[in-house]
A = this chain, B = another copy of it.
Amino acid sequence: MTQVKFDISTSLDGYIAGPDPDLEQPLGAGGEQLHDWVVKLSIWREQHGLAGGEVSADTEIMAEATDGIAAYVMGRGMFGGGDGSWGDEPWSGWWGEEPPFHAPVFVVTHHARAPLPREGGTTFHFVTEGVEAAVARAQQAVGEGDVLVAGGASVIQQALRAGLVDEFQLHVTPVLLGGGTPLFAGLGPDDVQVETVRVVESPSVTHLKYRVVR
């Protein structure tokens, strides 16, 4: 059975990005630190076409998190930022010629657009009917694989509120950002109940995995 998941780095005070994001700092002030633990891993670098990097206790977590993911769902901002319209020459996103997904990616947007195939097996599909429709299309696409809701916060929150998420993992980094994008904004006890699946500690990050209870 297909599982729908998300997997995201947060600060100790619950933010997935810092204050005042802009083109220079798309993750806001201090937000890059949330990903320090992962971008230094060789497994992450390999997925992004880069050599070198470390093998650590976090490697196994990262391998497990991406293993079996056969399709992705993401918001318009994560695909390519901007004002939400495509313009005359459609913006092909942050992800370059060969995006690291190697799978279909369903982008939730208000602006219809033809699918955008890229090198390496990634095709961006643009879904205008909302998060539920994007997750449903991803599930159809994957067969037996899993669907990762990649972000941003709004798409994750919509997926949680709609009861679409089976499991999630937080990578809690020991930093306070003091503001920014709170992961669970607008969600309360009537929206989501969870139970703990597993906790893994490493020197630079704590991995907390939860199952959504229905």
Contact = CB atoms under 8 A, between A and B. Distances in A.
A188 to B, nearest CB: 2
A75 to B, nearest CB: 20
A199 interface: yes
Contacts of A96: none
B176 A188 contact: yes
A13 interface: yes
Contacts of A210: 12, 174
Contact of A14 (B13, B179, B192, B203): B13
Interface string A1-40: 0000000000011100000000000000010000000000
Contact of A189 (B176, B186, B196): B176
Interface string A194-208: 111011010110101
Interface residues of A, number: 33
Contacts of A172: 208
Contact of A178 (B30, B178, B191, B208): B191
Contact of A13 (B177, B184, B208): B184
Nearest to A208: B206
A162 interface: no
A189 B177 contact: yes
Contacts of A195: 174
Given A12-B184, A176-B187, A177-B189, 6 more contacts: A13-B14, A175-B189, A176-B189, A178-B190, A196-B204, A199-B199
Interface of A: 12-14, 30, 172, 174-179, 182-184, 186-196, 198-199, 201, 203-204, 206, 208, 210
